[in-house]
Amino acid sequence: MNPKLFLKFVSVSFQKQVTYRFDCFVGIVNGFLYVFIFTSLWKALYSQFDTTMHNGYTLTAIVTYAVLVMAVRISFTMDDSIIYRKVMDGSIAMELIRPTSFFFMNLAENVGHSLFHMMARTVPIVMISVFLFDIYIPFEVQRLLIFIVSCIAGYILVSMMNFIAGLLAFWFIEIFPFLLFKYAFYTFFSGGIVPIDFFPEFLKPLVNLLPFQYMLYYPTTILIGRASLVEAQSIIMAQLIWIVIMGAICCLMWGAGKKKLIIQGG
């Protein structure tokens, strides 16, 4: 897709979100409420431990993780029902005749959506949390740059996951149960609630077979210093491999979905 056209779609999507200012305020309150609940929960749990460190996390480290993983998660906010709506109202047919990649158009819409939430929700929540909670972030230029690269890779993976889930609308009249299932898997296995370090041993082989940990957990651990710079490079390589795998799945499903749409006559 032409970069200028991509940025145009991003701009249009961003402007759509600006109109929902009250939703933005509610989102800030909701996000901060989550941060407050999780940080309070970890403080209560750590007060019961005999040591100041558990699974390699001090109280400061786990509070930092809780705040930042929520910040990354909010920044990755997307509308995962875009494709479903287009299939239901028939406008998906227009995507077949446009000379642009549907995936990249969808990605551009997601980027505009996410940029708004990052600026309107993530930044205020992080700023407030820095003053209210004991947070420590190692400010290293190289680590910050690697975090940004890992975050972009994680974002692409989340967008691909939503794209795949949305394409199920070609085969199912109602995909809400699938979206709910996807959201639960994504939130839990990406470390969005509890760091993967705290998972029971029997779950870790399953976690390693899934791409979710590369969406939230690893970008966050890179930022807070849990992953060394050498490990961070290996993490990014693994993210790129998963992007290729999920990209192939997106192409196969989009191709099959188009054929099904044509077979059905529009």
**Chain centre distance of CA 174:** 23
Residue 262 has pLDDT above 70, yes or no: no
Q: How far apart are CA 163 and CA 186, in angstroms?
A: 14
Burial (0-12, 13-18, 19+ Cβ within 10 Å), 141: exposed
| Rounded mean pLDDT, 237-263 | 89
Tell me how long the chain is.
266
Higher pLDDT, 239 or 46: 239
Strand ranges for the chain from DSSP E:
53-54, 57-58
Higher pLDDT, 1 or 121: 121
The closest of 148, 138, 156, 130 to 228, measured between CA atoms, is 138
pLDDT tens track for 118-154: 888 888 888 888 888 878 888 889 999 999 999 999 9
| Rounded mean pLDDT, 2-30 | 73
- 27-31, 192-196, 208-212: lowest mean pLDDT where? 27-31
Q: Given pLDDT bands bounded at 50, 70 and 90, which one contains residue 95?
A: confident
The closest of 105, 197, 235 to 159, measured between CA atoms, is 105
Q: For the chain, give the percent of residues with pLDDT over 90.
A: 39
Residue 266 has pLDDT above 50, yes or no: no
Half-sphere exposure of 17 (CA within 13 A, CB side): 25
Residue pointed to by tokens 């420590």? 136
The DSSP call for residue 200 is -
pLDDT tens track for 29-86: 777 888 888 888 888 888 777 667 777 788 888 989 999 999 999 999 888 888 888 8
Q: How far apart are CA 178 and CA 34, in angstroms?
A: 24
Residue 22 has pLDDT above 70, yes or no: no
Q: For the chain, give the percent of residues with pLDDT over 70.
A: 93
Distances (CA, A) of 174 to 81, 169, 212: 11, 7, 24
| Rounded mean pLDDT, 9-15 | 76
pLDDT computed for residue 3 by the predictor: 73
Half-sphere exposure of 60 (CA within 13 A, CB side): 9
Residue 242 has pLDDT above 90, yes or no: yes
Q: Given pLDDT bands bounded at 50, 70 and 90, which one contains residue 23?
A: low
The closest of 145, 161, 24 to 106, measured between CA atoms, is 161
Residue 263 has pLDDT above 60, yes or no: no
Q: How far apart are CA 2 and CA 100, in angstroms?
A: 8
CB distance 222 to 146 below 8 Å:
yes
Distances (CA, A) of 180 to 83, 107, 184, 189, 259: 16, 21, 6, 14, 27
pLDDT computed for residue 265 by the predictor: 47
Element (H, E) at 159: helix 141-167
**Chain centre distance of CA 7:** 20
Higher pLDDT, 41 or 212: 212
pLDDT, averaged across the chain: 86
